[in-house]
Amino acid sequence: MLDLLRQGLYEHGCTVMTASDGETGLEIASAYQFDAIVLDIGLPHLDGYAVIELLRARSRSTPVLIVTARDAEDDIIRGLDLGADDYLTKPFSFPELVLRLQSITRPFRSEPEGMMEFGDVTIDCVRRSVVRDNRRIDLTRHEYLLVVALMRKAGQCVSRQQLMESIWGQNHTAGSSTLDVLVNSLRAKLDSPFQTRLIWTVRGSGYFLRDRADVAEGIES
């Protein structure tokens, strides 16, 4: 798999450095600046979860695409929560891999400028930082794009399709379940530690931000 990916990316015009174990990969990723990292989970010496956790602890913000056979929701949530930008499960097609890499490496789409506020949440769009109730919330790139998309239409339902296009672009290949995992990951950081729930689900339609609990029929948490 490593050799196939290296050859495919090289033929696609990428400059590629590879490592066959977690420790070596961590050393390379810490020493050089990359546009993106493709990271497997089942690595010898140091697994992919440990690699990404240590990278983020070292303030390395390089976009990370996890590629793995582990497709359980808990595994996906763990990877995203540790700081991965996207998650691709095996088997996959090479064109899909390229699209995912393009998605996590392109600049933030139509990013607003200045500050955004809703309830006790403030987003600094210049620093790309999110604060709730005076507490900084550390988000992955996709979690950030998700909360920005929701805040742009705070109080209104944002459809699942609109959210996926805001996060992954119009030509995305992300599945609906990937959005659900991302929403759950954002809720764990933005909602769970606080008394007031902000992210609500409109069954069969999408999600929206609301800073009070008296929600209407058809809306669930």
67 forms bridges with which residues in the sheet?
88
Residue with tokens 């990969």: 25
Residue-level pLDDT at 217: 47
**Model confidence at 52, in pLDDT bands (50, 70, 90)?**
very high
Task: Report whether 199 contacts 191 (CB < 8 A).
Answer: yes
Lowest mean pLDDT among 56-70, 110-124, 142-156, 163-177: 163-177
Task: Report whether 39 contacts 67 (CB < 8 A).
Answer: yes
Secondary element (H or E) of residue 93: none
Give residue-wise pLDDT tens across range 87-110: 898 889 999 999 889 878 865 445
Residues 6+ apart with CB under 8 A from 75: 41, 68
Q: With 60 as the cut, is the pLDDT of residue 218 above it?
A: no
How far is residue 37's CA from residue 52's CA, in Å, rounded to a whole number?
Answer: 10
* pLDDT mean over 56-78: 87
Q: With 50 as the cut, is the pLDDT of residue 214 above it?
A: no
Give residue-wise pLDDT tens across range 105-155: 865 445 566 789 998 999 988 778 899 999 999 888 888 989 999 998 888
* % of the chain exceeding 90 in pLDDT: 42
* % of the chain exceeding 70 in pLDDT: 89
Q: With 70 as the cut, is the pLDDT of residue 220 above it?
A: no
Residues 6+ apart with CB under 8 A from 66: 39, 40, 41, 48, 52, 79, 84, 86, 87, 88
Task: Tell me the average pLDDT of the chain.
Answer: 86
Rounded to 5 degrees, what are φ and ψ at 70?
-80, 110
Task: Report whether 202 contacts 153 (CB < 8 A).
Answer: no
